[in-house]
């Protein structure tokens, strides 16, 4: 039996973990034992528990209940607590997703006590080291033994940093295995997309019609914590609702809702909260979110996961960031990087509203990344 410890903490990691746990349950339950640690980085019910229930993820065996804190304090506390679990569980691998502080902490804790790291969503780069996520992912990749890379761009990024693909096992942190396997979030969409319509009524609740609204999420720290950037993005949303007369649905990350309430200038706050075309709502469940994505006419976001989901559902994307790790979306003409620039966001929305047919060639795999990852981990045991 292969024993793995999977670490989740933030919303997108819980969603990614759903795909891995499902693959283990359906196809590898006699060969892989999974122990799930929840760091507690995200803790509101609508940022955490809802996904366990809705996506059928086993309850975490351990919740470290870390909660919110500064980067240093949060990361240090997770390292401290994960180390204890790893020392007692002695897994064959620790499995880490993405690029959050929970990812980095897991990587530091495991590497120092020589527990091999499996990094899912390896190789992504924004080439912007002021992003906390860029530091987290670079450090995690360079401590990993098995790197599972969603895109060919990710493979090229790793090769540029000295990694080699196609090397032979046995793999170690000094001789890592790098695998292009497609995107684990795509596994979830393939699995849940059909049933979302039957299991949620968010379209009816918000009185939305297919292709008649823009979906928007904003939570990056450089957008929420910069009044100038936040004002530009929100002003663009108001313009879309007021002047373009498009409905906008904005499921608000708690980080963003706190800042909007406490810091947004009163005039923009009033425009945002009193316009009937704007639905400012709490975070939604995953099935609700994919119903909104699937039925929207355009997605405006600074989220990593939501950018990809826009592409999966063949929706035009406006990226409210200066760059993206998912460069294929931009290269294929399905997305525009508008940064936090009010005019550029508005121009990009107008462009897509009038654009004809867009191309969405497959770049994120076949929906079976999780099975590939399980088989590759098992191969290392032989």
The first and second tokens of residue 214, run together, are 């823009």
DSSP helix/strand/coil, 353: helix
Are the CB atoms for 134 and 163 separated by under 8 Å?
no
Strands (E) across the chain are located at 2-8, 32-38, 62-63, 93-97, 117-120, 146-149, 177-180, 213-217, 247-251, 278-281, 298-301, 317-319, 335-337
| Nearer to ligand UD1 (CB atom), residue 100 or residue 144 | 100
Q: Does 257 bind ligand UDP (CB under 6 A)?
A: no
Both structure tokens of 108: 């530091």
Q: How far, CA to CA in Å, does 43 sit from each of 47, 64, 92, 186? A: 6, 11, 28, 25
From residue 252 to residue 271, what is the string marking binding to ligand UD1 with x (rule CB under 6 A)?
-xxx--x-------------
| Contact pick of 125, 137, 219, 247 for ligand UD1 (by CB under 6 A) | 219
Q: Name the binder of 132 from ligand UDP, ligand UD1, none, CB < 5-8 A by kind.
A: ligand UD1
35, 284, 319, 349: which one binds ligand UDP (CB under 6 A): 284
Q: Is 227 strand, coil or helix?
A: helix
Cβ of residue 74: shortest distance to ligand UD1, in angstroms? Answer: 6
Based on the shown chain and the rule CB under 6 A, indicate whether residue 68 belongs to the binding site for ligand UD1: yes
Smaller CB separation from ligand UDP, 35 or 337? 337
CB under 5 to 8 A by kind: which of ligand UD1, ligand UDP, none does 42 bind?
Answer: ligand UD1
Choose the binding region for ligand UD1 from 38-46, 50-58, 234-242, 268-276 (rule: CB under 6 A): 38-46
Q: Indicate whether 11 belongs to the interface with ligand UD1 (CB under 6 A).
A: yes
What is the C-alpha separation between 259 and 327, in angstroms, rounded? 29
- For residue 129, the SS3 value is coil
Which window, 112-120, 235-243, 248-256, 270-278, contacts ligand UD1 (CB under 6 A)?
Answer: 248-256
Q: What 8-state DSSP symbol labels residue 98?
A: T
DSSP 257-292: HHHHHHHS-HHHHHHHHH-TTEEEEPPPPHHHHHHH
Shortest Å, Cβ 132 to ligand UDP: 11
In the bound state with ligand UD1, the residue whose beta carbon lies nearer, of 100 and 348, is 100
Q: Measure the CA–CA gap between 44 and 1, rounded to whole angstroms.
A: 34
Q: In what order do the strands lie in the sheet with 117-120?
A: 62-63, 32-38, 2-8, 93-97, 117-120, 146-149, 177-180
Task: Find the part of the chain contacting ligand UDP (CB under 6 A) among 10-18, 149-157, 165-173, 369-377.
Answer: 10-18
Q: Does 106 bind ligand UDP (CB under 6 A)?
A: no
Q: Which does 21 bind (CB under 5 to 8 A by kind): ligand UDP, ligand UD1, none?
A: none
* Residue of the chain from 40, 304, 335, 365 that contacts ligand UDP (CB under 6 A): 304
- For this structure, is 119 an active site residue? no
DSSP per residue over 296-339, as a string?
-SEEEE--HHHHHHHHHTT--EEE-SS--S-HHHHHTTSEEE-T
Task: Using the rule CB under 6 A, give the single segment among 42-50, 189-197, 268-276, 317-325 that binds ligand UD1.
Answer: 42-50
Does residue 283 interact with ligand UD1 by CB under 6 A? no
Measured CA to CA, the distance from residue 308 to residue 304 in angstroms comes to: 7
Residue 61 lies near ligand UD1 (rule: CB under 6 A): no
Binding site for ligand UDP (CB under 6 A): 11-12, 15, 217, 219, 251, 283-284, 286, 289, 303-306, 309
> Rule CB under 6 A: which residues touch ligand UD1?
10-12, 41-44, 47, 68, 99-101, 132-133, 219, 221, 253-255, 258
- Catalytic residues, by residue number, are 219
């Amino acid at each position: 039996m292969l024993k793995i410890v999977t670490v989740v903490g933030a919303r997108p990691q819980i969603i990614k973990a759903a795909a891995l746990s499902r693959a283990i349950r359906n196809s590898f339950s006699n060969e892989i034992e999974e122990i799930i640690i929840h760091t507690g980085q995200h803790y509101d019910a609508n940022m955490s528990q809802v996904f366990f229930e809705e996506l059928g993820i086993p309850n975490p065996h351990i919740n470290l209940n870390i909660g919110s804190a500064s980067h240093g304090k949060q990361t240090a506390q997770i390292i401290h607590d994960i180390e204890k679990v790893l020392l007692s569980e002695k897994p064959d691998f620790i499995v880490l997703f993405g690029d959050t502080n929970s990812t980095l902490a897991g990587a530091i804790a495991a590497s120092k006590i020589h527990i091999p790291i499996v990094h899912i969503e390896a190789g992504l780069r924004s080439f912007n080291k002021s992003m906390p996520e860029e530091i987290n992912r670079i450090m995690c990749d360079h401590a990993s033994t098995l790197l599972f890379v969603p895109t060919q761009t990710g493979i090229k990024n790793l090769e540029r940093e000295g990694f080699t693909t196609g090397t032979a096992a046995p793999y170690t942190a000094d001789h890592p295995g790098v695998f292009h396997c497609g995107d684990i979030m795509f596994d979830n969409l393939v699995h849940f997309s059909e049933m979302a319509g039957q299991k949620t009524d968010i379209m009816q609740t918000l009185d939305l019609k297919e292709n008649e609204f823009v979906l928007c999420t904003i939570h990056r720290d450089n957008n929420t914590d910069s009044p100038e950037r936040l004002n530009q993005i929100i002003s663009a949303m108001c313009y879309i609702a007021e002047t373009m007369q498009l409905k906008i649905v904005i499921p608000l990350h708690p980080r963003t809702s706190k800042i909007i309430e406490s810091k947004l200038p009163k005039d923009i706050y009033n425009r945002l909260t009193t316009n009937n075309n704007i639905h400012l709502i709490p975070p939604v469940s995953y099935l609700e979110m994919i119903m909104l994505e699937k039925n929207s006419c355009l997605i405006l976001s600074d989220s990593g996961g939501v950018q990809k989901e826009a592409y999966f559902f063949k929706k035009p994307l406006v990226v409210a960031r200066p760059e993206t790790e998912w460069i294929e979306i931009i290269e294929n003409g399905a997305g525009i990087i508008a940064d936090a620039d009010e005019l550029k966001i508005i121009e990009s929305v107008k462009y897509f509203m009038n654009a004809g047919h867009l191309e969405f060639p497959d770049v994120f795999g076949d929906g079976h990344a999780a099975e590939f990852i399980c088989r590759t981990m098992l191969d290392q045991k032989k």
